[in-house]
Amino acid sequence: MEKRALVVRATGSWYELICEGERMRCRIRGRLRLKGVRSTSPVVVGDTVRCECDEKGEWVICDVEPRRNYIIRRASNLSKESHIIAANIDRAMLVVTLAEPVTALEFVDRFLVTCEAYKVPTTILLAKIDLMAERREEVEAFCATYRGAGYEVVELSATEGVGVERVRELLVGKVALLSGNSGVGKSTLVRAIDPSLDIRTAEISESFHKGRHTTTFSTMYSLGEGGYIIDTPGVKGFGLIDIDDKELWHYFPEMISRAGECRFFNCTHTHEPGCAVVEAVKEGEVAFSRYESYLKILDEDDKYRK
């Protein structure tokens, strides 16, 4: 007998599914691992799968239904394999911190590019805002950069309850992915959103001022007020994959709004005369950090193609 189920936890060896309100533990059929050999994750949290009972009486995932969307990154440095973090997402929430630890702006931009490419609406959660009381200029500059690019930025302190209600509003009735570097407070936030959830948290390492991994595997949690949140392991880097250089600027909203004014229709926004995007950067209308990320991604992609 075949069953249709939702993947709510993926360890790489075993998968936890929900089928008709009941939880079940499955592994994947060997042939699934051969599909799309470039991917390290044939089955991910958020997938809808079909499974059946084998001759040993164990449930086995035999097929994955087509994904509506997903968040994907390059598996490792200069690797041609991809790693899909989660699938079938209504909204992504990127947790960013400007202190303890510091999230690199290039990491933020790479994540946003992927979300734009796969049409996943994204909200930036600027966490640990309670640590930034004496650094308001830095906070305001960050907010101006990303709000200016068209993103909602929520100032957040999970420990003090600041911004938590807005996050709850965004989650109602949605499947949301929560991502970010280790130590930015993802698990603390999940616990603040729904205290009934048993999420482990850890302190920042004093020796390296980096976060410790508290979430080992991606897990989807059902929220009491409706909706689901997918808590993911901390991500150190975010290599892009399957994004053409000629299309990259399409995934920077503030560049799209100005590209129509460029002198050349096929402008790459790097060196051409009469480029409206470059001019907007010079005038401060497009944040230099965002434009710098664009150039670095183009340069990185050339390395991967060698």
- 72-231 folds as Rossmann fold (3.40.50)
- Asked whether the beta carbons of 226 and 172 are under 8 A apart, the reply is yes
Q: What is the pLDDT of residue 11?
A: 84
Q: What is the pLDDT of residue 209?
A: 39
Q: What is the pLDDT of residue 80?
A: 62
Q: What is the pLDDT of residue 243?
A: 86
CB-based contacts of 256-262 (< 8 A; 24+ apart in sequence): 258/285, 258/286
pLDDT means per 10 residues, the chain with 306 residues, are: 91 88 86 56 91 85 91 69 89 96 95 94 97 96 97 96 95 94 90 79 38 62 89 79 89 95 95 96 96 92 47
Pick the CATH number of 2-64 from 3.40.50.300, 2.60.40.10, 3.30.465.10, 2.40.50.140: 2.40.50.140
Q: What is the pLDDT of residue 77?
A: 53
Domain ranges of the chain: 2-64, 72-231, 245-305
Per CATH, the homologous superfamily of domain 245-305 is Probable gtpase engc; domain 3 (1.10.40.50)
Q: At what angle do helices 164-171 and 186-193 cross, to 10 degrees?
A: 80
